[in-house]
Amino acid sequence: MEFIMRKGVPNNLETNENRNYKIIAVDDEEGIIDSLSIFLKRSGYDFTGVTDPQEAIRMLKEEHYDLMMLDFIMTPFHGDQVVEEIRKFDKELYILLLTGHKDLAPPLETIRRLDIQGYCEKSDKFDQLLLLIESGIKSIAQMNEIKKINDELKNTYDMLEKAYLESIETLRYTVEAKDTYTRGHSDRVSEYSVLLGKKVGLSENDLKTLRIGGLFHDIGKIGVPDTILQKESKLTDDEYSEIKNHPSIGAHILSTATIFRDIIPIVKHHHEKYDGTGYPGKLKGEEIPYLARIAAIVDSFDAMTSKRTYRDAMPMETVISEFERCKGTQFDPQLADAFLDILRNNYNEIEEIQRKYNKEEITV
């Protein structure tokens, strides 16, 4: 059944706004395509008509269209088969299905599954079709506006995130200026954390959290007196108590920005011990956030292999013995075993990180 142009269809349907929307119609009857072309171009739309469903699929892959109308009963493919193929690469195209007879309409389940926004019976009256098209265009306009707002919000969020990161990075450099030991330490902890995270099969999102958490894990040292950070001899008990405040101070500094929410557990709990004797929360075993357990291992490794004013860097043999001895007490035993495997079998990756951040290599 063909659409037949009715006399008296208004010629003033065209609006400047309609020109912004591209419509494609697919029907294997040329007469219907011709009728739709006259009607929709008169209404001001950028219209393309196609009689070959395969050609239509190719065009939709190569060009952007806002709305598609297609016949349900076509050869060699029915409309639902065409939509099935289109939905593999375009989830957003607004689709109206045209049917010649009410009893040949597709099942409701098919319409829902393929996200077909509506269907219309072919008729010699265009009123219903026009209303459906106008409704579709309004919906498309609203979705475009929502996307625009979301993009603007994302850009604003990205700028805010960048500003926060730059501010905290400035604080990190201030800490490094105060404490010569910290210089390069946070970078190495960040890299070692990712290395161990990959070893135990963490997701990209967790690896990103580890990377940033490692960079800022000691940010709380900004609140520790310089006299303690720069002291060349061993710390007194009172001075050590001051140092032990830095995880809580760091967590407090980062708590003002939601972008740091995921790294706060690392910052706050990287000095917890697996047996519950660590600080600040005396958390035990599985109570300690998993990423903080990773940071605890690599933080300790970098401390052991760094030269301090009151002691030399430990030889690798001693470091390995310490990890073996402290499995299950200071460190998560499974994570400690994974890191020991890196030290024994992939130490070149550790050396690469040390070279990158200008640390003297430790003799194995």
At 193, phi and psi to the nearest 5? -60, -45
Lookup: tokens for 302: 């970098």
pLDDT in tens, the chain (364 residues): 444 444 344 444 445 566 778 999 998 888 888 888 888 888 888 899 999 999 999 999 999 999 998 888 777 778 888 888 999 999 889 998 888 766 666 677 777 788 888 777 776 667 778 888 888 888 888 888 878 887 777 777 778 777 777 777 777 777 777 666 666 899 999 999 999 999 999 999 999 999 999 999 998 988 888 788 777 777 888 888 888 999 999 999 888 778 889 999 999 999 999 999 999 999 999 999 999 999 999 999 999 998 776 678 899 999 999 999 999 999 999 999 999 999 999 999 999 998 888 665 443 3
Check: CB of residue 106 under 8 Å from CB of residue 77: no
Assign residue 122 the CATH number of its domain: 3.40.50.2300
User: Is the pTM higher than 0.75?
Assistant: no
Active site includes 221?
yes
The answer to whether residues 139 and 274 belong to one domain is no
Residue 45: strand, helix, or coil: coil
Residue where a domain terminates, one of 149, 164, 192:
149
Q: How far is CA 178 from CA 43, 62, 252, 307, 332, in A?
A: 71, 58, 20, 17, 31
The answer to whether residues 104 and 145 belong to one domain is yes
Give me the torsion for CA of 325, 330, 332, 337, rounded to 10°: -30
**Run of H or E including 191:** helix 185-199
Check: CB of residue 23 under 8 Å from CB of residue 68: yes
User: Is the peptide bond preceding residue 315 cis, with omega within 30 degrees of 0?
Assistant: no
75 Cβ contact list (under 8 Å, min separation 6):
28
- Residue appearing with tokens 């019976």: 121
The total of structural domains in the chain comes to 2
* Nearest alpha carbon to residue 112 among 95, 99, 135: 95
Residue 111's domain comprises: 17-149
The answer to whether residues 108 and 205 belong to one domain is no
Check: CB of residue 282 under 8 Å from CB of residue 271: no
**Run of H or E including 181:** none
The answer to whether residues 89 and 134 belong to one domain is yes
* Nearest alpha carbon to residue 261 among 359, 177, 161: 161
Q: Which amino acid is at 191?
A: E
Residue where a domain terminates, one of 131, 149, 167:
149
The answer to whether residues 131 and 184 belong to one domain is no
- Is residue 169 in a domain? no
Pick the catalytic residue: 122, 221, 273, 359?
221
> In b/e form, how buried is each residue of 229-244, taking b as 16+ CB within 10 angstroms?
beeeeeeeeebeebbe
Lookup: tokens for 250: 């760091």
The answer to whether residues 192 and 339 belong to one domain is yes
The answer to whether residues 54 and 95 belong to one domain is yes
Alpha-carbon distance 117 to 46, whole Å?
A: 20
Task: Please tell me the chain's helix, strand, coil percentages from 3-state DSSP, rounded to the nearest 5.
Answer: 60, 10, 35
The answer to whether residues 139 and 206 belong to one domain is no
